[in-house]
Amino acid sequence: MDWDPHHLPSQTGRTIAVTGATAGIGYFAAEQLAAAGAHVVLASRSAPKLDLAAAAIRSRVPDARLSQVRIDLHSLASIDEAARQLSALPALHGILLNGGAMTMRRGETTDDGLPLLLGSHVVANVALIAGVLPALVATGQAGDHARIVHTSTGFVRRLAVPVTDLSHSPRSAFAAYTQAKTATEVFAFELDRRLRAAGLPVDSLVSRPGVGVDAKTPLRPGIRDATTPYRRNVFTPWAQGKDTAAWSAVRALTDPTATGGDYFGPPGAFKGVPVRVQKLARTAEPDPALATSVWDQLERLARVRLPITEHARPGSAT
C-alpha cells in the first residue's frame, strides 16, 4: 500500500503506550498517534516533563486523549509498577519501546547494576513486555492483533557486535549501543516466532528511525525550544527532523497491512517515508541456539520469564 504519514489510518478506539514520550522521536510518535485518534499513554520517568509533553500535544491536538505513566527504565522496580498500571487499562492495543539512555560515558550502570545502555535499551523492555503481555494478549483476543514495536538503529547493519555474552559490555560506547540494539533485534524477531508458535494475537515488529537531528526538528514548547538542550550532528545536511524520524515506528503501530516480524525504516540510511526494509539475516534468522541464548540471557538479566506458554492457544505448537 502507499503510506502517507500525514494521513494516518484512524486510531480511534485504540490505546497505545509510548516510552520515552517526553522528547525527540517518542514525543513526536505520541503526537502523531494522538492526532490519528488514539488514546496515547505517555510513559517517562519525569512527572514535570510528562506534563509538558501532554500540554504540547494538546496545543496541536486539542481533543487528544492522553494518560501518563511514570517509568524509569533504569529501575526494574519502576518498570514492574509501570507494567501494573498499563495492565490495569481497559485495553492495550500497542506499545512503542522507544526509551533508553543516550549517555556515552563508560562505566555507568542502572539501579540494578546493569550496563546502562544494555539495561535501559534492552533489559528494561524485556521486563516491561513480560509485565504487559497478558494485557496485550487479552486486547488482541478481543479484536485485531496487538503490537509490540521495538526500536533499532542502522548501526546494527554497519557494525557486527557479538551478543553471545551480554554480560560483556564493549569498551566503546558506540559499540555498546550497537550491541544493545543488535540484541533488541534478535529478541524482537525471536519474540514474534514464539508468539506465532503459541497462537497468540500479538505481533512483534521492529523499526529504525534513520537519523533525526535537532536542527531540523520543529519547535514544541518544552520539547524542542530555546530551553531544551541542543545536540549538534555532523549528518545534519542529509538528515531529517525527529518528527519524521518517528514515522517508521508510527507505521509499524498503525499500518493495517503490517504483520509480526515486519521491519520498517526509511528507504535510505538517513531519511524518507518508511517502507518495509530488508531484515538482517544475523538478527532476523540467526542460529536458533544464538536466539535461544540471547532470550535466556535477557530473561535472566530482567529477572522475568515471559508468560508465552501460559497464554498459548490450545493445540498450538509451543
Active-site hit among 27, 177, 230, 263? 177
Q: What pLDDT sits at residue 171?
A: 86
Whether residue 160 is contained in a domain is answered as yes
Whether residue 315 is contained in a domain is answered as no
Whether residue 316 is contained in a domain is answered as no
Query: What are the cell numbers at 248?
Result: 517508521
Q: Give the domain range for residue 58.
A: 15-305
Whether residue 183 is contained in a domain is answered as yes
State the alpha helices, DSSP H only, in the chain.
Answer: 24-35, 47-60, 76-87, 116-118, 124-141, 155-158, 173-197, 242-245, 247-254, 281-284, 288-302
Whether residue 22 is contained in a domain is answered as yes
The separation between the first and the last C-alpha atoms of the chain, rounded to the nearest angstrom, is 33
What CA–CA distance (Å, rounded) separates 257 from 94? 15
What's the CATH code of the domain at 47?
3.40.50.720
Q: Is 177 a catalytic residue?
A: yes
Residue 186's CB is within 10 A of a number of other CB atoms, namely 24
What CA–CA distance (Å, rounded) separates 157 from 9? 30
Q: Residue 242 in 3-state DSSP?
A: helix
What CA–CA distance (Å, rounded) separates 126 from 298? 7
Q: What pLDDT sits at residue 313?
A: 73
Our count of domains for the chain comes to: 1
CB contact at 8 A, 203 and 258: yes
Whether residue 104 is contained in a domain is answered as yes
CB contact at 8 A, 102 and 25: no
Whether residue 238 is contained in a domain is answered as yes
Ordered per-residue pLDDT tens for the chain, 318 residues: 689 999 999 999 999 999 999 999 999 999 999 999 999 999 999 999 999 999 999 999 999 999 999 999 999 999 999 999 999 999 999 999 999 988 767 778 999 999 999 999 999 999 999 999 999 999 999 999 999 999 999 999 999 999 999 988 888 888 999 999 999 999 999 999 999 999 999 999 999 999 999 999 999 999 998 888 888 888 898 899 999 999 999 999 999 999 999 999 999 889 999 999 999 999 999 999 999 999 999 999 999 999 998 777 766 665
Whether residue 2 is contained in a domain is answered as no
